[in-house]
Amino acid sequence: MSLAAVAAHQPASVPASVIDDLDLAIDRAAVALRREQRGDGHFAFDLEADATIPAEYVMLRHFLGEPDDTIEAKIGAYLRRTQEAHGGWPLLHGGPLNVSASVKAYVALRMVGDAAAAPHMLKARDAILAAGGAAHSNVFTRTALALFGMVPWRAVPVMPIEIMNAPSWFPFHIYRISYWARDTLVPLLVLMALKPRGVNPRGIDIPELFVTPPERVRIWPKGTNQVGGWGIIFGALDKVLQAAEPYFPKGKRQSAIDKAVAFVRARLNGEDGLGAIYPAMANTVMMFRVLGVPDDHPDVVLARAAVDKLLAIKDDEAFCQPALSPVWDTALSAHALIEAGGASTRAAERGLAWLKPLQVLDVKGDWAERRPDVRPGGWAFQYRNDHYPDLDDTAVVVMAMDRARSHSGDAGFNESIARAREWVVGLQSKNGGWAAFDADNTATYLNYIPFADHGALLDPPTADVTARVVSMLAQLGEVPDTSPAMKRGLDYLLAEQHPEGGWYGRWGFNFIYGTWSVLCALNAAGLPGDAAPVRRAVAWLLSIQNADGGWGEDDKGYDLAYKGYSPAPSTASQTAWAAIALMAAGEVDHPAVERGIAYLRASQTEDGFWPEEFFTGTGFPRVFYLRYHGYPKFFPLWALARYRNLKHSNSRTVMVGM
């Protein structure tokens, strides 16, 4: 960071009087959060991505030939509002134009009835053309365009459906890729094999978005990660497959299609959908239509209901969510409410009671391909996703349940906690870390295949998830000297510290998120506050505090050529993470923590919450980001209550895992 940037980020003095009424702020936030609790005890906040998912929902309906004018008018209003001043659509609020998101948003607006000559559409067209045109879209966008005949199928790298027939030792096998890639890809393989064309009832085409007509484009772009030897090898292989695919034996192709359909049907997941994520659900709906499955078939009815369940419909606009996050929202809200104490403790207990029966105890999901002898015992992110529980949610739920039983003395969570611990430890990867959904999902060469231009085909261990598991084990009473799993996880974390002093955050922006996660884990594991890794992390957090007392970080930390922290405006959620991290490191009395708490107190609104338009959640680094609407509702409350509790404590030591 330049000296000027450092000077701009030196914390300014904030009067102590700002935090004098901390109890009032905590009570207001806790009451507001409890007001959001559903009747059955759970919390569920909107999960918003970029323009891509709402646009894809419109494109799905037009592929099927079933436009819905009412909902599409509201999605159109959302897309027009989120168009940036540069004319296009970004990956996150206030960001630069992203060609793929902009192309899909433009197509969707054309489908809902916006004229190509409308001022906002001309502005979007000019911005897209200035960025190279629609030919510079990513693979998933070009695939969506191919389904409407807007680009030829050779614009899409070949992914032969015969992959479904591959033996487990084959270099590309569906269980070698992440769960989200697997569930998205399998129904998509059917579509790519059959190459259908959507109904497109309004006959929309977009030649105006291409610098060179798509039928004349010979070289389609690669992802920034597809370089070096592997990129060259897989690029050459794709050229061979492009020429050979039309001659693949029809019998083997049908066998592979049958296997793909069987895979999907076994994981339909009721009204929560395949993988409980939008791309997999939408591909499933299109797959069934292309295969001629009747609309009244139970599988089709469920698949359609799952997609519509993702809609967030407001008074004047609507958007489609990439997934639903009730387990994550409920577990984190429970932590914040337990920290707030008083009447909020009962609300947390109601949330945990709702979570308890959602534990997956009788389904061995896809994770069992790597760990067949491990008993299930995790929680998923969504309402239901039995084949794909995740380690992060599970660890957070366990820590909340453990806090609740410590408070009440009730043993009702004992069996749930024990089964979850067993499952989590069983999914530790060989390098000592934990990933989100699988163990040892580390076939890195697969990120170089032409189809994987997003660079997110895998689910390797990460510092933030590993930290959550180490925190869980420590809170349950384990110590490195007697817990091999915890010792290996701790060693992994210490080895992953970034030269700047922080830790990479895979699932939240970015080094602040990762550093919060790891400092909580190191404290829980018994690493003293004066240990060198802790001191380096504290020094880094102090160095990046903004002049307003808060903390902020944008997506630049995910750049492949990342050189160091880039200043960004403060947000409530990131300020809460930084403050909680510093308190875990023993710095509750540090002036920087007081300034962070003062920032949160001063930025709280009358409704008890905090405004936060910036995205602070991560789907795929550099490609797909998330705005968790619950983050500014429970994380700041958590930080304020933690600060008050420690200030009233004699030890000044955080005694829980996070």
Q: Are 196 and 288 in contact (CB under 8 A)?
A: no
Other residues' Cβ atoms within 10 Å of the Cβ of residue 139: 22
Find the helix packing angle between 119-130 and 99-112, rounded to 10°: 150
Q: How far apart are CA 518 and CA 494, in angstroms?
A: 9
Catalytic residue among 392, 440, 459, 464: 392
DSSP H or E stretch at residue 423: helix 414-426
Per-residue 3-state assignment (H helix, E strand, C coil) for 198-247: CCCCCCCCCHHHCCCCHHHCCCCCCCCCCCHHHHHHHHHHHHHHHHHHHH
- Amino acid type, 210: F
Q: How far apart are CA 379 and CA 357, in angstroms?
A: 10
C-alpha distances in Å from residue 393, one per residue of 2, 33, 332? 38, 20, 9
Per-residue 3-state assignment (H helix, E strand, C coil) for 124-191: HHHHHHHCCCHHHCCHHHHHHHHCCCCCCHHHCCCCCHHHHHCCCCCCCCHHHCCHHHHHHHHHHHHH
DSSP state of 11: P
Other residues' Cβ atoms within 10 Å of the Cβ of residue 575: 29
Q: How far apart are CA 301 and CA 299, in angstroms?
A: 5
Q: How far apart are CA 381 and CA 358, in angstroms?
A: 10
Q: How far apart are CA 269 and CA 386, in angstroms?
A: 8
Dmax over CA atoms of the chain, in Å, equals 77
Q: Are 544 and 9 in contact (CB under 8 A)?
A: yes
- Amino acid type, 624: F
- The three-state secondary structure class of 82 is helix
564 φ/ψ sector (left φ>0, alpha ψ -120 to 50, else beta) = left
Q: Comparing C-alpha atoms, which of 380, 385, 458, 462 is closest to residue 429?
A: 462
- Amino acid type, 98: N
The number of angstroms, rounded, from the C-alpha of 205 to the middle of its chain's C-alpha atoms is 32
- The three-state secondary structure class of 342 is coil
DSSP letter for each residue of 509-567: SHHHHHHHHHHHHHHHTT--TTSHHHHHHHHHHHHT--TTS-B---GGGG-TT--S---
**Nearest 10 degrees: CA dihedral of 415, 420, 426, 432?**
-130
Residue 392 known to be catalytic: yes
Tokens read off for 340: 């707030």
Q: How far apart are CA 45 and CA 47, in angstroms?
A: 6
Q: How far apart are CA 225 and CA 206, in angstroms?
A: 28
DSSP state of 1: -
Q: How far apart are CA 185 and CA 577, in angstroms?
A: 35
Tokens read off for 324: 């639903």
Query: Which residues are annotated as catalytic?
Result: 392
